[in-house]
Amino acid sequence: MKFSLVNGQRQEAEPKLSGLCPACGCQMTAKCGRVRVHHWAHKNQGQCDPWWEKESEWHRSWKDQFPSDWQEYIQHDNTGEKHIADVKTKAGWVIEFQHSVLNLDERRSRENFYQKLIWVVDGTKRKCDIEPFKNGMVYGQSPDPLSPNKCRTFFPKGNLLKNWSECSGHVFFDFGEEHPLWWVFPGSNETYAYIQSIPREKLIQSLQDRDVADLNSFDSLISDFEIFIKRCETDPELPRIQRLKEIQIATT
Ligand SMILES: [Zn+2]
């Protein structure tokens, strides 16, 4: 973890420091080696938050895009269950940065627990995931000139889309700094996935301290995406044009 309580204050790891875990109250030791990012570890390997994932540079650089008091937020529910969210924004969005592959049951239990959830998924974890994802996009060219960055793909292909398209949370694939993020809208499924590309800065800014009614807030970006989805689902011409395109691509 990035923070521990030292004399009652949240503090980052420094050599020889010890502290208490803000979630379970157990003793923690600062780990300040050369290989991994400086972090805190529980002194005794116990069960603190079973959902906690070992932090990488990738995790840390994402978390650091947000104010430190939004990071490692301890979320309780009314049954007494608690978990450490990577980030919780002022507007109530929990952001989880997912580097390792997550099984379906685990993913669903987090989605149930956190409700307003955003996943940022490390798309570079398996090199074999990027090409199938790009190929999947070819089938989803948007016929809507007003929304060139959005598309609906038919029968999502590739491991990433198959694994993540049925989420009830918003999913963002991160393929590295040189690429935009790819946003998969909740409610996508094995038949359709609604996807749009978004610059990472735009996502980060949309989640900063904004009024939800602000045109650049994340909630407004959702509304804008929903308009596109509604058009896809209600305009009988749009799916027909897309299907034609798919057939053309498949046969050329
Ligand atoms: Zn703990």
| Each residue's pLDDT tens digit, 152-171 | 877 777 788 888 888 999 99
Q: Which residues neighbour ligand 1 (ion) by CB within 5 Å?
A: 21, 23-24, 48
Distance from the alpha carbon of residue 103 to the mean position of ligand 1, in angstroms: 23
User: What's phi and psi for 103, nearest 5 deg?
Assistant: -80, 165
pLDDT at 200: 95
Which residues, in sequence order, are CB contacts of 71 under 8 Å at separation 6+? 2, 3, 63, 64, 86, 87
Q: Return the closest-CA partner of residue 26 out of 40, 9, 37.
A: 40
Instruction: List, for residues 224-245, the tens digit of each pLDDT value.
Output: 999 888 888 887 666 554 544 4
Q: CA gyration radius for the chain?
A: 20
- How far apart are the C-alpha atoms of 5 and 91, rounded to whole Å? 25
How much distance in Å is there from the Cα of 49 to the middle of ligand 1? 7
190 has a pLDDT exceeding 90: no
Ligand 1 centroid, distance to 92 Cα (angstroms): 23
pLDDT tens digits for range 113-166: 998 999 999 998 877 777 777 766 655 555 566 677 888 877 777 788 888 888
Angle, helices 237-251 vs 218-234, to 10°: value is 80
- Give the mean model confidence (pLDDT) for residues 247-251: 42
**Ligand 1: centre distance to CA 48 (Å):** 4
217: Cβ–Cβ under 8 A, 6 or more apart, which residues? Answer: 91, 206, 210, 211
**Cα 42 to ligand 1 centre (Å):** 6
> pLDDT digits over 42-96, tens only?
998 777 898 988 889 999 999 999 999 999 999 999 898 999 999 999 999 999 9
pLDDT at 139 (0 to 100): 55
Full-model pTM: 0.88
109 Cα–ligand 1 center, Å? 20
